[in-house]
């Protein structure tokens, strides 16, 4: 059992939830009167245009409906309602990698969003329910664009700027987007990089749905324009009025889609709702980070991921906080960049991924000592398990031993935090996300739906619906039901299965043990091994391929590919193949899926029915002894052959 760290007493006294008794009391309230608990929150937190008639409708489970009949607009929640008391408060503080700064107040943000919303409506004919793809760098206009869509009821789908043209095209097609909003590019590692050419490439074929492209100029590099299709935001947006009537949205109307990887097939468009999503974004901001009126909150994610959606844009703005947005990499001009920004902006809550902590620890263990980090009150992590080493460095060197670390477990599908410490209440320990938030019924169960005993791995399920849950997979309801409600049952009823394994430790703390499916977690990003295999299979010299994750000291997991090749057998050709295969990956997915290791093998371990035994391949990649029974394999001798090849 690892060490427990009690909450900082000074912080607890001021916190919204001050101790474990208060936490448990809320859990009991939610247990005793589930709908009443959520009803109270939804009334208190959301400024409704029209109140809802019903808290939860389970008639068509798992297509749950929350706050039916209620009308709202998420931008009123994030902007409009703050104008009385916060119009001159900084909503977004943006820092470019080159040191440029922009501070955008709530009133300014309101106007910006309105002008862009008008542009979308008037110039591009975007209507409620239309899909708009955003392929944006980390600039304030990314937030403007998300909110402008929300204002007029369009459904945004942000595609991370690291994805390739092919990946972008897949998403534009799947969403049938009418418009793409992008930028010329931005700056990374001191140099301009480009996005617009990637959009051109994506739209080259098969995207008839997408009629127009709106381009924000950020790095002012030369780009090509397609006449009649491409428009420059900077030139036309100011012609629009700064006032815009918000669309009255149903509580259940989709706010956005965000594509994420599954264990099979193409990435799926996770569909989120308006009311339930914004309620939970706001509530978790307030309670998990305990942000106060004058605080400055910084989440280092990219807006292309759910963390950026909920904790850079929607959550902080819904509660009227000040959110920091940073354009570049953490190591430019040096490894002290983030710490200098915390110092400069007096950041109070800082939220990042373990992979970044490990990198900055390794590359610059002493860098934090050069800065004044005393403004920090709460630290957070997300995306993958954090190892005790990195945790201790974060706790001591960044938090000065006084800031609780909230290790938040959640997913693209959950919309916001599910399992996490509360900074003023929960005694924390390195490597544990601790307990579910009040109202969230997270349970670790076995295949029969029974809770697993302490120390034993089980399936991490959420056994009751929650307001910010995924509503559907865009265009594929069957896949939605199968992916999330097909594997686990409790009391005979299908329940949401996260895809993660977990266990209770001796103290009943929840420890996430990682994915149980064929999804790997590279630097906190989810990648389906099936997607990578499909790409590699496109190479003419690849006969068979299997991809697994292998532990990596910085990235958490690295991508390890076993490949059976045809038509080539010399070593020099293998070196060439490695380059070829990575080119293919970069083209069809993007840099984030680059292979860390490739081994050319004579065959793959398969059962007699032809199923590849990935567990064996995972063990070999880790150089672990094989514990599985290999006698049932079609060719048991293949295991040793592969092992010998991997040892070098």
Q: Which is nearer to ligand WT7, 48 or 410 (CB)?
A: 410
100 is in an annotated binding site: no
248 is in an annotated binding site: no
Q: How far is the CB of 401 from ligand WT7 (least distance, A)?
A: 21
User: Which two structure tokens, joined as six digits, stand for 550?
Assistant: 């292998």
Applying CB under 6 A, which residues contact ligand WT7?
260, 306-307, 382-385, 407-412, 433, 498-500, 512, 515, 521, 524-526
Q: How far is the CB of 291 from ligand WT7 (least distance, A)?
A: 18
570 is in an annotated binding site: no
List, in sequence order, every beta strand (DSSP E) within 413-523. 442-445, 458-462, 472-473, 488-490, 493-504, 510-515, 519-522
Asked if residue 613 lies in contact with residue 633, where contact means CB atoms within 8 angstroms, the answer is: yes
Q: How far is the CB of 386 from ligand WT7 (least distance, A)?
A: 7
Shortest CA distance to 562 belongs to which of 539, 536, 540, 583? Answer: 536
Q: Which is nearer to ligand WT7, 96 or 415 (CB)?
A: 415
Q: Which is nearer to ligand WT7, 77 or 408 (CB)?
A: 408
Q: How far is the CB of 253 from ligand WT7 (least distance, A)?
A: 22
Q: How far is the CB of 483 from ligand WT7 (least distance, A)?
A: 12
Q: Which is nearer to ligand WT7, 292 or 618 (CB)?
A: 618
How large is the C-alpha radius of gyration of the chain? Answer: 24
9 is in an annotated binding site: no
Shortest CA distance to 350 belongs to which of 405, 283, 302, 387? Answer: 405
Strand order in the sheet with 90-95: 101-105, 90-95, 322-326, 296-299, 349-352, 378-382, 405-408
16 is in an annotated binding site: no
Asked if residue 365 lies in contact with residue 397, where contact means CB atoms within 8 angstroms, the answer is: yes
Q: How far is the CB of 161 from ligand WT7 (least distance, A)?
A: 16
500 is in an annotated binding site: yes
Please identify the residue of the shown chain whose CB is closest to the bound ligand WT7.
412
Q: How far is the CB of 160 from ligand WT7 (least distance, A)?
A: 10
453 is in an annotated binding site: no
Distance CA 295, CA 377 (A): 10
Contacts of 467 (CB under 8 A, 6+ apart): 38, 42, 66, 67, 273, 275, 276, 277, 279, 280
372 is in an annotated binding site: no
347 is in an annotated binding site: no
Shortest CA distance to 642 belongs to which of 596, 597, 603, 598? Answer: 603
Shortest CA distance to 377 belongs to which of 423, 308, 324? Answer: 423
Cα torsion 622, 623, 624, 629: sign = positive
523 is in an annotated binding site: yes
CA angle in degrees (0–180, nearest 5) for 207-253-493: 105
389 is in an annotated binding site: no
105 is in an annotated binding site: no
At 598, which helix (H) or strand (E)? strand 597-600
385 is in an annotated binding site: yes
Q: Which is nearer to ligand WT7, 114 or 355 (CB)?
A: 355
Q: Which is nearer to ligand WT7, 326 or 484 (CB)?
A: 484
Q: How far is the CB of 185 from ligand WT7 (least distance, A)?
A: 25
Distance CA 287, CA 423 (A): 8
First to last CA, the chain: 36
Distance CA 260, CA 524 (A): 12
Q: Which is nearer to ligand WT7, 368 or 549 (CB)?
A: 549
Q: How far is the CB of 297 from ligand WT7 (least distance, A)?
A: 16
Q: Which is nearer to ligand WT7, 419 or 620 (CB)?
A: 419
Contacts of 451 (CB under 8 A, 6+ apart): 443, 444, 445, 458
Q: How far is the CB of 519 from ligand WT7 (least distance, A)?
A: 7
Length of the chain: 648
User: Which two structure tokens, joined as six digits, stand for 644?
Assistant: 């010998």
| Phi-psi sector, 555: left (phi>0), alpha (psi -120 to 50), beta | alpha
Distance CA 64, CA 471 (A): 7
Q: How far is the CB of 427 from ligand WT7 (least distance, A)?
A: 17
254 is in an annotated binding site: no
Asked if residue 121 lies in contact with residue 152, where contact means CB atoms within 8 angstroms, the answer is: yes
Distance CA 374, CA 207 (A): 51
310 is in an annotated binding site: no
User: Which two structure tokens, joined as six digits, stand for 104?
Assistant: 């955008």
Q: Which is nearer to ligand WT7, 219 or 498 (CB)?
A: 498
Distance CA 378, CA 71 (A): 34
636 is in an annotated binding site: no
Q: How far is the CB of 462 from ligand WT7 (least distance, A)?
A: 12
User: Which two structure tokens, joined as six digits, stand for 209?
Assistant: 């749905």
Q: Which is nearer to ligand WT7, 345 or 526 (CB)?
A: 526
Shortest CA distance to 164 belongs to which of 610, 535, 578? Answer: 535
Q: Which is nearer to ligand WT7, 433 or 577 (CB)?
A: 433
Q: Which is nearer to ligand WT7, 219 or 420 (CB)?
A: 420
User: Which two structure tokens, joined as six digits, stand for 491?
Assistant: 């009391």
Residue numbering of the annotated binding site for Mg(2+): 539, 542
Residue numbering of the annotated binding site for CoA: 188-191, 307, 523
Residue numbering of the annotated binding site: 188-191, 307, 383-385, 407-412, 500, 515, 523, 526, 539, 542
């Amino acid at each position: 059992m690892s060490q427990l760290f009690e909450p900082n007493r000074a912080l607890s006294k001021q916190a919204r939830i001050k101790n474990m008794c208060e936490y448990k009391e809320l859990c009991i309230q939610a247990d005793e009167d589930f709908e009443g608990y959520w009803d109270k929150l939804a009334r208190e937190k959301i400024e409704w245009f029209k109140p809802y008639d019903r808290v939860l409708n389970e008639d068509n489970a798992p297509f749950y409906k929350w706050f039916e009949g209620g009308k709202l607009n998420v931008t009123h929640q994030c902007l409009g309602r703050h104008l009385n008391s916060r119009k001159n408060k900084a909503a977004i503080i943006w820092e470019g990698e080159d040191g440029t700064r922009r501070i955008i107040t709530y009133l300014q943000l309101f106007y910006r969003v309105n002008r862009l919303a008008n542009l979308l409506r008037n110039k591009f004919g975007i209507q409620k329910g239309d899909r708009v793809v955003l392929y944006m760098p980390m600039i304030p206009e990314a937030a403007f664009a998300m909110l402008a869509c929300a204002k007029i009821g369009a459904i945004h789908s942000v595609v991370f700027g690291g994805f390739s043209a092919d990946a972008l095209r897949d998403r534009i097609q799947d969403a049938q987007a009418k418009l793409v909003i992008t930028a010329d590019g931005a700056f990374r590692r001191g140099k301009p990089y480009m996005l617009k050419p990637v959009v051109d490439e994506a739209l080259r074929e098969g995207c008839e749905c997408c009629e127009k492209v709106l381009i924000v100029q950020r790095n002012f590099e030369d780009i090509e324009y397609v006449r009649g299709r491409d428009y420059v935001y900077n030139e036309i947006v100011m012609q629009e009025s700064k006032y815009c009537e918000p669309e009255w949205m149903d509580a259940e109307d989709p706010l956005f889609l965000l594509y994420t990887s599954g264990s099979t097939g193409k990435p799926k468009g996770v569909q989120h709702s308006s009311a339930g999503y914004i309620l939970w974004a706001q509530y978790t901001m307030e309670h998990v980070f305990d942000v106060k009126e004058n605080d400055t909150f910084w989440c280092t994610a990219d807006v292309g991921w759910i963390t950026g959606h909920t904790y850079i844009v929607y959550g902080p703005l819904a509660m009227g906080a000040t959110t920091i947005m940073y354009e570049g990499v953490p190591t430019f001009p040096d490894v002290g960049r983030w710490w200098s920004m915390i110092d400069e902006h007096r950041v109070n809550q800082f939220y990042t991924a373990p992979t970044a902590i490990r990198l900055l620890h390794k590359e610059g263990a002493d860098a934090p000592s050069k800065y004044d980090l005393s403004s920090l009150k709460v630290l957070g992590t997300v995306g993958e398990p954090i190892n005790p080493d990195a945790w201790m460095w974060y706790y001591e060197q960044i938090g000065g031993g006084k800031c609780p670390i909230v290790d938040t477990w959640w997913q693209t599908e959950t919309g916001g935090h599910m399992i996490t410490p509360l900074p003023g209440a929960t005694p924390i320990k390195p490597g544990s996300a601790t307990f579910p938030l009040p109202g969230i019924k997270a349970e670790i169960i076995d295949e029969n739906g029974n809770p697993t005993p302490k120390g034993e791995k089980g399936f991490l399920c959420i056994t009751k619906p929650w307001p910010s849950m995924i509503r559907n997979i865009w265009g594929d309801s069957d896949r939605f039901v199968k992916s999330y409600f097909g594997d686990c049952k409790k009391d005979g009823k299908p329940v949401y299965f996260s895809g993660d394994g977990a266990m209770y430790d001796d103290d009943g703390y929840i420890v996430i043990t990682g994915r149980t499916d064929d999804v790997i977690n590279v630097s906190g990003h989810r990648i389906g091994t099936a997607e990578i295999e499909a790409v590699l299979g496109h190479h003419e010299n690849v006969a068979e391929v299997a991809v697994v994750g292998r532990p990596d000291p910085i990235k958490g997991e690295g991508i390890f590919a076993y490949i059976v090749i045809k038509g080539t057998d010399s070593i020099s050709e293998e070196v060439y193949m490695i380059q070829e295969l990575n080119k293919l990956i970069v083209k069809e997915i993007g840099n984030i899926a680059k292979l860390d290791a490739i081994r050319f093998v004579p065959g793959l371990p398969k059962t007699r029915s032809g199923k590849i035994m990935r567990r064996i391949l995972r063990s070999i990649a880790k150089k672990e002894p094989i514990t599985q029974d290999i006698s049932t394999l079609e060719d048991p001798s293949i295991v040793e052959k592969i092992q010998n090849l991997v040892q070098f």
